[in-house]
Amino acid sequence: MTSELKTDLQKLLQKRLDELTEKHKSILAQREQLEAQSKQLQTDIAALHEALNVEARATGQAIPKTTSNGSRLLGLKLGEAIRILREENPRINKNAIRSRLQEAGFDFKGKRPGSAVHMAWTQLERQKHKGGDT
């Protein structure tokens, strides 16, 4: 009887394992779809912001500032997003920038956010000093 219980228990556990595995696969597939949709939305947002900026320049209007929720940062290149955040708040530090970008859902393209921000920050500093904008 013990071996029957063990067999029944094993069957039950295997069934549950199979169910959880299928659920996990389904969730991963949904995540991939959501990530693809998110990337497309970021691209669309960036394109619309660029069109807005082009129209504003063409009509001589002021280019709108970044919205406080950071949605304008989505779809931008990292350096550009950091430049905007630094213009918005010159005293902001790298950790605060990383946090703001992560909260906004910025796509770091598989790179570690802290390292990516550091490298882009360093590049901006080099450009700033090279251009004489001290």
pLDDT digits (tens, 9 = 90+) for 5-32: 678 889 999 999 999 999 999 999 998 8
The count of residues in the chain is: 134
By three-state DSSP, how is residue 91 classified?
coil
Domain identity same for 100 and 39: no
Residue 129, amino acid: H
Domain identity same for 46 and 92: no
**Number of Cβ within a 10 Å radius of residue 83:** 17
Q: What is the dihedral of CA 118, 120, 125, 131, to 10 degrees?
A: 170
- Two tokens, residue 16: 């549950």
Domain identity same for 99 and 129: yes
Position 121 confidence tier, pLDDT thresholds 50, 70, 90: very high
Q: Is the pLDDT of residue 68 over 50?
A: no
Total domain count, the chain: 2
Only one residue has tokens 């904008």, namely 133
87: containing domain: 66-134
